[in-house]
């Protein structure tokens, strides 16, 4: 599992740029991100190389930040590459609360997942040889 930063962001010009500038100033590398928004605010979710440090830095800058545990799964970068993982979760009765993905340089794709049953998901992934150690290593480089 990985720690994901979730940052409350106002829907206004420059809000995300400000966050990126603060992280850049402190040499925090953003590896993946997504943003979900409503009319007035959004939640910026990020995987970074130093999540605890990034959280402290953003909090000190006045941002509302939380750290959340998420699963990270690597798969082949091909059509249907994520389907085996999603089928396992479906068969286990696991609800995916949200997910986002990114493509690496090594012809692999990476999926970040937040689920409703963390322990059961760990059991399913362990029983099926699905791990995130290689993703964590790639992110922390």
Judge if 41 and 92 occupy the same domain: no
Question: What ranges in the chain are assigned the alpha helix state H?
Answer: 15-25, 51-60, 83-91, 118-127, 133-140
Tens digits of per-residue pLDDT, 73-100? 988 888 998 999 999 999 999 999 999 9
Read off the pLDDT of each residue in 50-58 and give the average, rounded to a whole number: 97
For residue 40, the enclosing domain spans 2-67
pLDDT of residue 70 exceeding 60, the answer is yes
Q: pLDDT confidence of 131, banded at 50, 70, 90?
A: confident
Lowest mean pLDDT among 33-37, 56-60, 120-124: 33-37
Last residue of a domain, one of 12, 38, 67: 67
Q: Flag whether 113 is in a domain.
A: yes
């Amino acid at each position: 599992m990985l720690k994901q930063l979730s940052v409350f962001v106002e829907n206004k010009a420059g809000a995300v740029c400000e966050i990126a500038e603060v992280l850049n100033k402190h040499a925090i590398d953003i590896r993946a991100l997504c943003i979900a928004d409503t009319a007035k605010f959004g939640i910026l979710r990020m995987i970074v190389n130093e999540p605890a440090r990034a959280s402290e830095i953003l909090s000190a800058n006045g941002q509302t930040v939380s750290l959340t545990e998420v699963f990270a799964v690597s798969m082949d970068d091909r059509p249907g590459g994520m389907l085996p993982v999603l089928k396992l979760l479906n068969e286990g009765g696991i609800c995916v609360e949200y997910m986002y993905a990114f493509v690496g340089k090594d012809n692999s794709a990476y999926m970040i997942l937040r689920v409703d049953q963390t322990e059961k998901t760990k059991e399913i992934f362990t029983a099926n040889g699905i791990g995130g150690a290689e993703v964590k290593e790639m992110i922390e480089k």
